[in-house]
Structure 1
Amino acid sequence: MTESLQQRFESIAQRANADARLVHRGRHLTADLKVVVGDAPYLLRIRAGRVDSLQAQMPLFAPADLVIRATQEAWAALWEPMPRPGWHDLFALTKRGAMTIEGDSHVLFAHLQYLKDVLALPRQAPAH
């Protein structure tokens, strides 16, 4: 049986915090993100480039700096080892209508590469 999309997404916290270069890149980012994988909402709290917490249930009325929502197909395609053209990037998925990004555009653009890298972490094979 293969790992579910939710399990792959939930590996982000451990993977991000284990990558010193990624933490350093995001050192100026402190934000709360609502990330929706298919129908499953998550609250991803980032503090100074570290994933402080990843909650599988969104607290009622929890504020978020960014909301990133995509279909299961979009996340699965993004997390393929070699994603297909048009399915390889947050903006490509947005352009095709499979993803929406809402919220504070300053947070998004000031930390774009960090956010892209963190959200692409499930693409990598898990470390054993």
Structure 2
Amino acid sequence: MIETLPALAAADPWFARRGRHVDADFVIGVGAQDWLVRVREGRVERVERGPFLGRNWAFAIRGGSDAWHDFWQPVPPPRRQDILGLVRHRLVTIEGDLRPFFANLLWFKALLELPRGKGDRA
């Protein structure tokens, strides 16, 4: 799922337009597996599968496989449809420098929802 983020984001011009000031390297943790996502000027340049030794990243979003599976359903179950809902119910944690995440919250939320396959934004 996560390895498809560059192609999914590239297919939707909203990401480059809305995220033109987003530059961040961040980690998505699904169970024991980490993925490093590199974003430059609102474009997802690369997704790398971990483990990572000595790699820099701004923040990490980590959760169990079940939480992510529910989150990426086309219609997620209650309390699993929003990344901050997952955090609130302690199914996912966010750690590190949260400034880039919260400064571009709408962009990151939309990016993380892409694997649901809901289509383009206007």
**Distance in 2 (alpha carbons) for counterparts of 1:76 and 1:64:** 24
**Aligned twin of 2:11:** 18
Conservation of the 8 A alpha-carbon contact between 1:22 and 1:49: yes
The aligned residue for residue 44 of structure 2 is 51
Paired residue for 2:74? 81
Distance 1:112 1:58 in 2: 26
2:109 pairs with one of 107, 116, 121: 116
- Map residues 24-63 of structure 1 onto 2, 5 A cutoff: 24-63=17-56
**Other-structure match for 2:84:** 91
Count of equivalent residues: 119
Query: 2:23·2:42 contact (CA, 8 Å) conserved in 1?
Result: yes
Match among 52, 66, 79 for residue 59 of structure 2: 66
- Over the residues paired in the alignment, what is the CA RMSD in angstroms? 1.4
SS at match of 1:68: strand
Measure the CA separation in 1 of the matches of 2:51 and 2:104: 23
Deviation at 1:105, TM superposition (A): 2.1
Q: Distance in 1 between matches of 2:4 and 2:68?
A: 14
Q: Deviations over 1:18-72 (max 9, x none)?
A: 2101221111010000111111111100000001110012430211111110110
Q: Which runs of 5+ in 2 are unaligned?
A: none
In structure 2, how many angstroms separate the alpha carbons of the residues matched to 1:49 and 1:29? Answer: 5
Q: Taking structure 1 as the reference length, what is the TM-score of the superposition? A: 0.87
Q: Percent identity?
A: 35
Aligned structure 1 segments of 4 or more residues deviating by more than 2 angstroms? none
